[in-house]
Amino acid sequence: MSEALRKPAPAREPAGRKSVIQELADLSAVVVAPADDQTSLLVRELQRLRMRVRQVWPMPESVPGDADVVYCEYAPDLARRLPWIPGDARSALVVIVPATDPIQPEALANATPDAVLPRPFTANAVLSSIVLARSQFGYERRLRGKIERLDENLRSMRTVERAKAILMATRRMQETEAYSFIRRQAMDRRVSASAVAAAIVDSFELLGYDQHTDPQ
């Protein structure tokens, strides 16, 4: 390995993006595992990343769900012990997998972990697991948020279309003109385009229906 590669990564510009290590700092972690040398190594490595770590054992009936990351010993009934329903996880989950004892693939799949950490642990394995878990968990959450917004936009688009048609008929606007009118109003009033569109549609109804300006 060349000397250049051994050097620590240069500190980022203050205005730049946080490094992965910086993103991990101050996160909270719960480690559900028996207190042994291995667990000590795990806790120490997480603390070295400046995470706040709490160790829990024996395995509780309901795994704590208030941390950013949960490291949890594999158990055949792990999914049942998680405090959330699948698809609605509140923490990134890393399942600690035994070195040789057999595990059930279904049980692991049902727990829907974001990463796994097989025994015996090493510093690199711990770092990899936390990076992967945070990345996967964050990405899934962003995708879910995106779908929610898409759903909402899909509905509001109908209102925007209706408002556009009203503007075109009542104000003799062209299509692009009508759209930019809605956009401009939204920016001026600091509300969403769909809120402006809804207001236009509502006021059109309030002012009364006129056959001659029926946008249909």
Partner 1 sequence: MSHLHHETSAPWRIGVLFSRTGFMSVVEDTQYQGTLLAIDEINDAGGVCGRQLVPLAYDPGSEASAYGHLAKRLMIEDEVSTIFGCYTSSSRKAVLPVVERLNGLLWYPTLYEGFEASPNVIYTGASPNQNSLALCRHLMDHYGTRFYFVGSDYIYPRESNRVMRELLKTNGGAVVGERYVSVHARWQDFLPIMQDIRRLKPDVIFSTVVGEATAYLYQAYANLGLDPRRMPIASLTTTEAEIAAMGFDVGEGHITAASYFQGVESDSNCAFVQAFKKRYGNDVSTNMCAEASYFQVHLFARALEQANTLDTDVLRSMVLGSSYDAPQGTVTVNPQSGHADLWTRIGRANRAGQFDIIDESHAAVHADPFLIGYGRATAHAG
Which stretches of the chain bind partner 1, using CB under 8 A? 77, 79-80, 85-88, 106, 109-110, 112, 151, 154-155, 158-159, 162, 201, 204-205, 209, 214, 216
Taking alpha carbons only, the member of 63, 67, 66, 83 closest to residue 24 is 67
Structure-block tokens of residue 206: 């309030």
Give the nearer residue to partner 1 in terms of CB position, either 38 or 213. Answer: 213
Separation between Cα atoms, residue 44 and residue 127, nearest integer Å: 11
Closest approach of partner 1 to the CB of residue 206, in Å: 9
* Residue type for position 96: I
Closest approach of partner 1 to the CB of residue 211, in Å: 8
Give the nearer residue to partner 1 in terms of CB position, either 4 or 85. Answer: 85
Closest approach of partner 1 to the CB of residue 142, in Å: 16
Give the nearer residue to partner 1 in terms of CB position, either 36 or 106. Answer: 106
Closest approach of partner 1 to the CB of residue 85, in Å: 5
Closest approach of partner 1 to the CB of residue 205, in Å: 6
Give the nearer residue to partner 1 in terms of CB position, either 80 or 189. Answer: 80
Q: How many residues does the chain have?
A: 216
> 68, 28 in Cβ contact below 8 A?
yes
Q: Which residues contact 155 (CB under 8 A, 6 or more apart)?
A: none
Separation between Cα atoms, residue 196 and residue 149, nearest integer Å: 18
Give the nearer residue to partner 1 in terms of CB position, either 110 or 135. Answer: 110
What are the helix (H) ranges across the chain?
3-6, 20-24, 37-48, 78-81, 105-110, 123-170, 175-189, 193-207
